[in-house]
A and B are shown apart, each in its own frame.
Chain A
Amino acid sequence: MNGAALQPLTFWLLLLFGITAPLLFPAYTNQIAVLWLMIVFASTWDILGGQMGYNSLGNIFFFGAGMYVSAVIQIGLFYDVGLYTSGARTIHIAFSHEQYFIGFVLGIAAAGIVSAALAVAVGWIVFGLRGPYFAIGTLGVAVAGAELMASWEWVGAASGISMPVFPGGPEAQKLFFYLLLFGLAFALLLFLRWLYSTNFGLAINAIRDDEEKAEAMGLHTRRYKRTAWVISAFFLGIAGAIFGNMTGFIEPRDIAFPTTTFNIFMVLMVLLGGKGTLWGPVVGAVVFHLIKEFTWTYFLGWQFVTLGLLIVIIVVYFQQGIVGWILEKYPERFGVKVAPKESRSIDGQLAAQPEGAE
């Protein structure tokens, strides 16, 4: 079986799993919902990190931005946000059915759009930077976002905002957010599969391989870079809006802009799965999330030490990732017949887009 036949089948299997999972494992609906979120994280990080070679440490900025935008829209449509946040301790405001869903839909749409707009704005600052400067600069953007939100009284500063309560039972709520996150992840994967098979995919790969040459060949590298970031920011913003509503309470440092947890997880998941492939981030996210959910509680406070060690080990010893390793080991399974050495990234490419662009 080669890559071309594998792809639609994988999508069908994914769809089947996504729909049946909450029925098969009703106790784990929330965990599986977070798994879809992790897949969104990993896949959006890979647009820049894997396909374009721009390793960002600040993608979480758009997640947090989306979360806050949706919160402000959902509350601001019906109440005064400043009063809502300052009175959070004393008054309880109930949202009606209609108010909730109108606010929710508008909030999610606005979250995606504003995040994308922010990506354009931030792109002006960071896209003249390369390599480690880009990583540090984007990390700076994310930390600055967290600090800004933590000191802004209007949106609740460091004590956060409690989101409107979902009108409906806890089971319905779980299922609702599960389906939203699953739908987002599935749509993202379909979209990326299409995106990587277009000229756009080839262009960002060219930027990864040699940006100067790509520019010399007439590619408007800045435009491509910005577009790639806007796509990634759009999906992350929506993910942030959904997740904010799912947790019901948002707070700047640990939920909206968690620079040391989700932000690092996304890099780690992509490296674990294999960067620059469509399925690598998905595999990485699944493996990472399973390991994390099963072992996290047994570490008794040593979780983050383990996380740090895991980063070092993966980065130093296993950088090609699971999918990268399989592609290297069995290239013929994916219909690739290229001389082995130094062709790993090309293999990955061909496997991800067997029909090829052009």
Chain B
Amino acid sequence: MEQVIGNISVLMTAPIFNFGLLIDGLLIGSIFALAAYGLALVWGVMNVKNLAQGDFIMIGGYLTWCLGRLGIHPLFGVPVAIVVLWGIGWVLYRTVISKVITRDLFTSLLATFGIAIVIQQGLNLTFGPDTQSAQAQLPTWEFAGGLITVTATRVIGFIFAAILAVAVILFMKNSRMGQAIRATAQDARAARVLGIDTEKVYSFTFCLNAAICGAAGALVAVVWNVQPFMGTTYSIRLFVIVTAAGFGNLPGVIAAGFGMGVFEQFGGFVLGAQFQQALIVLLLLFVLAVRQLQQLKVRQAVQ
């Protein structure tokens, strides 16, 4: 407890630290926002809550880490992860997801939870339970006399995430497939009547989501670190972001992603890193409770 108060007083007396945490939070939040956008996409289009989202991220991260060990610069992990995860997404869609789309929501939730366990344990058996990080050998910049440090990897991660997010948004706005996806999200039946192959749209959406996660994972491995069981934390994080923002609300998802990053930086600094998971879970409960109070006003349940 004294430590917590001490940390808070550090923040009060040296406001420059706040600024440093804020920058770090925003840079990391960009990756959360990217992956959360993928979750929102699948959620909105297919009405599948993908609990394996965080584990897709971990696969992308481990791919990048492997490349790094082979002597390839880890930033090349981004395109590799995109391609590989696209393939994994396609296989999973064919074998599992396509069979649960029309079923009730708990079915898809449980099925993706099963996938998540398989991926977690598979990664654990292949790579061991240690925390790994891909070294990019990039400089660290210091500002304000060393009080604020910004690592180049985080800035590059941010730029990559921004480029990918813009690319996906432009794709959704302008391309034929993007339009089909949005039409299916609005009304799948009407889309089918108008000649859109919704099966193909679903398959494409799920693969796209997996690819986005892969890219996010590659960035996570470079910027931060990966560990087989961290996937669950990411899934909960993304779930919090999308629940807080609402899945149809793209600017909201991005803002909530940044908010999550900043919240975690400050929470981690004040309480200590070991409370990270507890903080995220409490935030989840808080967001759900708030959503409920909002819905109570219009006498509806959160569903």
Contact = CB atoms under 8 A, between A and B. Distances in A.
Contact of B292 (A129, A271, A304, A307): A129
A76 interface: no
B285 A140 contact: yes
A125 interface: yes
Please indicate which of the listed interface residues B121, B239, B243 has the most CB atoms of chain A within 10 Å of its own CB.
B121
A129 to B, nearest CB: 5
Contacts of A211: 301
Please indicate which of the listed interface residues B96, B104, B113, B277 has the most CB atoms of chain A within 10 Å of its own CB.
B113
A309 B95 CA distance: 12
Nearest to A150: B278
A301 interface: yes
A121 to B, nearest CB: 12
A211 B110 CA distance: 22
Contact of A147 (B281, B301, B303): B281
A264 B285 CA distance: 20
Interface residues of A, number: 39
A234 B276 CA distance: 31
Contacts, number: 119
Contact of B288 (A129, A148, A319): A129
A257 to B, nearest CB: 12
B107 A133 contact: no
Contacts of A137: 284-285, 288
Please indicate which of the listed interface residues B96, B118, B122, B277 has the most CB atoms of chain A within 10 Å of its own CB.
B118
Q: How large is the interface on B (under 10, 10 to 19, 20 to 34, 35 or more residues)?
A: 35 or more
Contacts of B116: 308
A131 B284 contact: no
B243 A133 contact: yes
Contacts of A129: 288, 292, 301-303
Interface stretch (A9-17, A81-89, A286-294, A310-318): A310-318
Given A125-B285, A125-B289, A316-B99, A304 B121 contact: yes
Given A130-B303, A304-B117, A311 B277 contact: no
Interface in B65-117: 96, 99-100, 103-107, 109-111, 113-117
Interface string A52-66: 000101000000000
A132 B109 contact: yes
Contacts of A55: 106, 109-110
A299 B60 CA distance: 27
A219 interface: no
Contacts of A302: 121, 125
A122 to B, nearest CB: 10
A144 interface: yes
A305 interface: yes
Contacts of A2: none
A308 B303 contact: no
A265 to B, nearest CB: 12
Nearest to A126: B288
Contacts of A312: 96, 111, 114-115, 118
A141 B288 CA distance: 11
Nearest to A143: B281
> DSSP class of B's interface residues: helix, strand, loop or mixed?
helix
Interface string B236-257: 1001000100000000000000
B275 interface: yes
Contacts of B138: none
Given A125-B285, A308-B115, A135 B106 contact: yes
A128 B120 CA distance: 31
A129 B303 CA distance: 6
Contacts of A267: 110
A309 B118 CA distance: 6
A144 B243 CA distance: 18
Given A135-B106, A136-B239, A140-B288, A311 B113 contact: yes
B49 interface: yes
A143 B277 contact: yes
Interface in B265-303: 274-275, 277-278, 281-282, 284-285, 288-289, 291-292, 295-296, 301-303
A266 B293 CA distance: 31
B281 A140 contact: yes
A132 B125 CA distance: 30
A320 B125 CA distance: 32
A198 interface: no
Contact of B302 (A133, A135, A140): A133
Interface in A179-238: 211
Interface in A256-303: 260, 264, 267, 271, 301-302
13 contacts: A55-B106, A129-B301, A129-B303, A135-B106, A136-B284, A140-B288, A151-B275, A151-B278, A260-B117, A304-B121, A305-B122, A307-B117, A308-B119
Given A309-B118, A312-B96, 13 more contacts: A129-B288, A129-B303, A131-B104, A133-B243, A136-B284, A137-B284, A140-B284, A147-B281, A151-B275, A211-B301, A309-B114, A311-B114, A315-B107
Interface of B: 49, 96, 99-100, 103-107, 109-111, 113-122, 125, 236, 239, 243, 274-275, 277-278, 281-282, 284-285, 288-289, 291-292, 295-296, 301-303
